[in-house]
């Protein structure tokens, strides 16, 4: 019997060592019935995109708290395009100033979540994306 699950890669690119937020999101998505591939800390953009490709995920969730989002995220978007992962939706969470968020959304990031975002909102946003499809 056919069974489709939403697959999400949760990755922490860059050098900050705080993965509590990423783990909370991973757990919330699990509890919503999704399959979450968790890659752990200190991922290079290349590792993130390779993992997304091999795992054939529908969504990449990035967590960046280091302030390096303006160099890491465009690089990941670029590599994803090169790997022909255009249909993979990229979400970003962390400490992202509003103007950076605007710029990254322009570059192709689907949504940016700041501190205080409820896990329910993230879950619903992802579910809505795939209900339409």
Partner 1 sequence: MPELVQAILQGDRRALARSITLVENDTAQGQQTLDALFPKTGKAHVVGITGASGAGKSSLVNCLVDILIQQDPKLQVAVIAVDPTSPFSGGSVLGDRIRMRAIAENPNVFIRSMASRGALGGLAHNTQAVSLVLDAAGYDFILVETVGAGQSEVEIASLAHSVLVVEAPGLGDDIQAAKAGIMEIADILVLNKADKADVDAAEMALRSMLAMGYPSTKTDGSVWVPPILRTVATDGKGVAEVVNAIQAHAEFLHSTGTWQQRDQTRLRAFLHGLLERKRNQEWQQFIQKEEFKQVLKKIYIHELSPYAAVEQLQSISFLKNSH
Q: Does the protein bind partner 1 through residue 124 (CB under 8 A)?
A: no
Q: Does the protein bind partner 1 through residue 3 (CB under 8 A)?
A: yes
Q: How far is the CB of 34 from partner 1 (least distance, A)?
A: 5
Q: Does the protein bind partner 1 through residue 91 (CB under 8 A)?
A: no
Q: How far is the CB of 58 from partner 1 (least distance, A)?
A: 10
Residue 90 parent element (H or E): strand 89-94
Measured at the alpha carbon of residue 83, what is the angle toward residues 81 and 85, in degrees to the nearest 5?
A: 60
How many helices and strands in the chain, by DSSP H and E? 5, 5
Q: How far is residue 29 from each of residues 70, 105, 115, measured CA to CA in Å?
A: 26, 22, 17
The region of 59-67, 81-89, 93-101, 110-118 touching partner 1 under the rule CB under 8 A is 81-89
The region of 66-74, 83-91, 96-104, 109-117 touching partner 1 under the rule CB under 8 A is 83-91
Q: How far is the CB of 97 from partner 1 (least distance, A)?
A: 30
Q: How far is the CB of 89 from partner 1 (least distance, A)?
A: 16
**Pairing mode, strands 7-11 and 111-113:** unpaired
Q: Does the protein bind partner 1 through residue 125 (CB under 8 A)?
A: no
Please check whether residue 133 is in contact with residue 93, taking contact to mean a CB–CB distance below 8 angstroms. Answer: no
């Amino acid at each position: 019997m056919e069974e489709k699950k939403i697959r999400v890669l949760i990755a922490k690119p860059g050098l900050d060592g705080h993965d509590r937020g990423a783990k909370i999101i991973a757990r919330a998505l699990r509890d919503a019935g999704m399959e979450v591939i968790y890659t752990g800390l200190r991922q290079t953009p290349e590792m993130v995109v390779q993992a997304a490709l091999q795992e054939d995920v529908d969504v990449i969730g990035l967590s960046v708290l280091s302030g390096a989002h303006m160099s890491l995220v465009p690089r990941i978007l670029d590599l994803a395009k090169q790997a022909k992962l255009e249909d993979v939706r990229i979400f970003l969470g962390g400490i992202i100033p509003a103007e950076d968020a605007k710029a990254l959304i322009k570059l192709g990031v689907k949504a940016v979540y700041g501190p205080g975002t409820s896990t329910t909102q993230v879950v619903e946003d992802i579910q809505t994306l795939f209900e339409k499809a």
